[in-house]
């Protein structure tokens, strides 16, 4: 094929684009402002130990199997990976007893039994029905929406699903809120809360998200995978794969501007130190809003619509800790629920961190291959990543220490109510929305792009093409959605668009040589 491509950012989307395009014969350079690849899938050092900095729940492994296969390689030759038997352990504090704990398993029969033991035979039956429904939603949307093009309204989606399958479209319940749908399914409020939490996987509130997002429950039920070294190790494996395909990485180097030719199309980038790298196409793996607010120069600014702060997805308070724990038998993934989910999301929507938060705890040393075998049996410290949802106001609010101390106390109080005690003076670091804004500029700390609130939100996400010919977007804030596999799918989609557009440009320029049209003007026909 041929052609020069610059990828801005080595997050999951950027890495997937780079590997794919290099495998197709393009000359690819990835420019990353940090010293390590992975973006949100970074590592943080605490008390001398590496702690997962971002994603810990790895699903849809097949997306990555596909990327490696397309490069003639195998994922398991690069990583040690295995299926988790326990998907997650959930705990409530209404009574504080051990009976208020529920595990979901890789094995659906075990999960159903567990739901039955937890909430009764009727709940087990409803859970089975819920699984069927979420599976159907996933099957309907998987190819046309998640692995396909971005679509800007329901009609083209219906077209792709098949116009005669109107029932399938209705089955996705786009106009019903997730919370309402879950209330219809499960009389037990704890199960509503458990399955409603899946909305937060793309940074949304279950009270505002469409019921369609219930399909995330099926994504997790299909399999959660454990990777030695965490999801950062997956990013490193993708880097290795990309390098084997010939991709060059410029680490610790920020892009300051997308260069354009006479204001018409992207022709490369200018780095912060002034160096220019010319290219036939540029893929931006930074948040698209960074383009819209001018972080990549005035020429590119109008290539993408800005995202109003009110439309942002959730941010998070994330503690990276090395701590002794007691009182609760932690699994690898654990969720400790608040007593009032509606209040929690109302507080976040009003710009405050929740006073009684739901808390996710990843007990990194438990359950994986590289787990420290003796974890806590003798009361030693273990590595923890702890997440609480928070408003994406990191560009306007600095989170002073008095406030973060209160947030830490609130987080610990939820754990304590559910039976888990953390060491009082645990060595830790805390990432606030302000820190996320610093790492991912122009987001306010929103970790998943636009919130999926309302029936139209999925159609409003930035697509792979921008309004500037030759400039593309990829990543968790771009179509199809946020999350590690979705960001990678977005990267693959951007790569396909680049490939198709450059092939078209080449054909047009061959015609133009005879007819007198320039190669650039042939490309200006490309729109988002």
Ligand X SMILES: Cc1cc2nc3c(=O)[nH]c(=O)nc-3n(C[C@H](O)[C@H](O)[C@H](O)COP(=O)(O)OP(=O)(O)OC[C@H]3O[C@@H](n4cnc5c(N)ncnc54)[C@H](O)[C@@H]3O)c2cc1C
DSSP structural state of residue 59: -
Q: How far, in Å, CA of 280 to CA of 284, rounded?
A: 13
State the Cα–Cα distance between residues 250 and 60, nearest whole angstrom. Answer: 29
Q: Are 491 and 497 in contact (CB under 8 A)?
A: no
**Residue 494 in contact with ligand X, rule: CB under 6 A:** no
d(C-alpha 352, C-alpha 170), whole Å: 35
Distance separating alpha carbons of residues 210 and 205, to the nearest angstrom? 10
Q: Is residue 415 part of the contact set for ligand X (CB under 6 A)?
A: no
Map residues 437-476 to x or -, x wherever contact with ligand X holds by CB under 6 A: ---x------x---------------------------xx
Cβ proximity to ligand X: between 196 and 419 the closer is 196
Which range in 39-47, 146-154, 177-185, 404-412 contacts ligand X by CB under 6 A? 39-47
Residues numbered 110-169 forming contacts with ligand X, rule: CB under 6 A? none
Q: Which part of the chain contacts ligand X (CB under 6 A), choosing from 54-62, 319-327, 350-358, 390-398?
A: 54-62
- Of 4, 27, 34, 176, the one binding ligand X by CB under 6 A: 34
Closest CA to 347 of 290, 402, 406: 406
- Closer to ligand X by Cβ: residue 115 or 269: 269
Q: How many helices (H) and strands (E) does the chain have?
A: 18, 21
Structure-token pair, residue 58: 């790895």
**Residue with Cβ nearer ligand X (84 or 255):** 255
Contact 466, 291 (CB under 8 A): yes
If binding means CB under 6 A, how many residues of this protein chain bind ligand X?
Answer: 33
Task: Name residues contacting ligand X, limited to 198-227 (CB under 6 A).
Answer: none
Q: Looking at residues 321 to 350 of the shown chain, list those that interact with ligand X (rule: CB under 6 A).
A: none
> Least distance to ligand X from the beta carbon of 494, Å?
10
Q: CB of residue 413 vs ligand X: minimum separation in angstroms?
A: 21
Q: At residue 452, what are phi and psi to the nearest 5 degrees?
A: -90, 65
Supply φ then ψ for residue 459, to 5 degrees. Answer: -85, -10
Q: Does 39 bind ligand X (CB under 6 A)?
A: yes
2 burial (CB, 10 Å; 0-12 / 13-18 / 19+) is exposed
- Tell me which residues in 366-405 interact with ligand X (CB under 6 A): 387
Does 430 sit near ligand X (CB under 6 A)?
Answer: no
Alpha helices in 448-483 (DSSP H): 457-460
Identified binder of ligand X from the candidate list 260, 285, 289, 410, rule CB under 6 A: 285
Residue with smaller CB distance to ligand X, 26 or 436: 436
Which residues, in sequence order, are bridge partners of residue 437? none
Q: Measure the CA–CA gap between 416 and 498, rounded to whole angstroms.
A: 51
Footprint on this chain of ligand X (rule: CB under 6 A)? 8-14, 31-34, 39-41, 54-57, 254-255, 285-286, 316, 318, 387, 440, 447, 475-476, 482-484, 487
């Amino acid at each position: 094929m041929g052609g020069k491509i610059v990828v801005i950012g080595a997050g999951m989307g950027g890495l997937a684009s780079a590997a794919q395009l290099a495998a197709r014969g393009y000359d690819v350079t990835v420019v990353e402002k940090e010293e390590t690849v992975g973006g949100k899938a970074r590592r943080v050092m605490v008390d001398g130990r590496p702690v997962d900095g971002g994603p810990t729940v790895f699903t849809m492994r097949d997306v990555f199997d596909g990327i490696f296969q397309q490069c003639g390689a195998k994922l398991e030759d690069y990583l040690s990976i295995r299926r988790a038997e326990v998907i997650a352990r959930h705990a409530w504090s209404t009574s504080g007893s051990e009976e208020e704990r529920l595990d979901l398993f890789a094995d659906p029969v075990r999960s159903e039994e567990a739901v039955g033991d937890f909430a009764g035979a009727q709940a087990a039956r409803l859970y089975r029905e819920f699984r069927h429904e979420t599976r159907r939603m996933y099957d309907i949307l998987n190819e046309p929406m998640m692995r396909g093009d971005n679509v800007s309204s329901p009609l083209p989606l219906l077209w792709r699903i098949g116009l005669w399958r109107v029932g399938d479209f209705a089955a996705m319940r786009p106009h019903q809120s997730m919370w309402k749908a879950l209330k219809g399914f499960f009389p037990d409020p704890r199960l509503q809360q458990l399955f409603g939490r899946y909305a937060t996987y793309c940074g949304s509130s279950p009270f505002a998200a469409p019921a369609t997002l219930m399909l995330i429950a099926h994504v997790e039920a299909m399999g959660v995978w454990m990777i030695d070294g965490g999801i950062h190790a997956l990013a490193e494996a993708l880097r290795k794969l990309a390098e084997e395909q010939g991709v060059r990485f410029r680490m610790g180097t920020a892009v300051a501007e997308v260069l354009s030719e006479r204001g018409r199309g992207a022709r490369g980038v200018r780095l912060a130190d002034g160096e220019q790298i010319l290219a036939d196409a540029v893929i931006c793996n930074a948040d698209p809003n960074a383009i819209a607010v001018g972080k990549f120069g005035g020429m590119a600014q109008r290539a993408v619509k800005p995202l109003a702060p009110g439309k942002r997805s959730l941010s998070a308070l994330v503690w990276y800790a090395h701590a002794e724990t007691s009182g609760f038998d932690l699994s690898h993934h654990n969720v400790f629920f608040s007593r009032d989910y509606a209040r929690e999301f109302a507080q976040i929507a009003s710009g405050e961190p929740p006073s009684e938060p739901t808390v996710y705890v990843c007990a990194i040393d438990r359950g994986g291959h590289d787990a420290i075998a003796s974890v806590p049996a003798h009361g030693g410290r273990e590595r923890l990543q702890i997440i609480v949802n928070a408003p994406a106001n990191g560009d306007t609010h600095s989170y002073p220490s008095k406030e973060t101390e209160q947030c830490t106390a609130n987080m610990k109080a939820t754990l304590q109510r559910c039976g888990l005690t953390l060491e009082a003076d645990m060595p830790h670091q805390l990432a606030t929305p302000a820190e996320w804004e610093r790492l991912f500029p122009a987001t306010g700390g929103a970790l998943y792009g636009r919130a999926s609130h309302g029936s139209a939100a999925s159609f409003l996400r930035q697509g792979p093409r921008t309004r500037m010919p030759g400039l593309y977007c990829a990543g968790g804030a771009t179509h199809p959605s946020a999350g590690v596999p979705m960001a990678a799918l977005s990267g693959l989609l951007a790569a396909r668009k680049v490939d198709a557009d450059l092939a078209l440009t080449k054909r047009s320029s061959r015609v133009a040589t005879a007819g007198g049209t320039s190669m650039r003007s042939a490309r200006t026909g490309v729109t988002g």
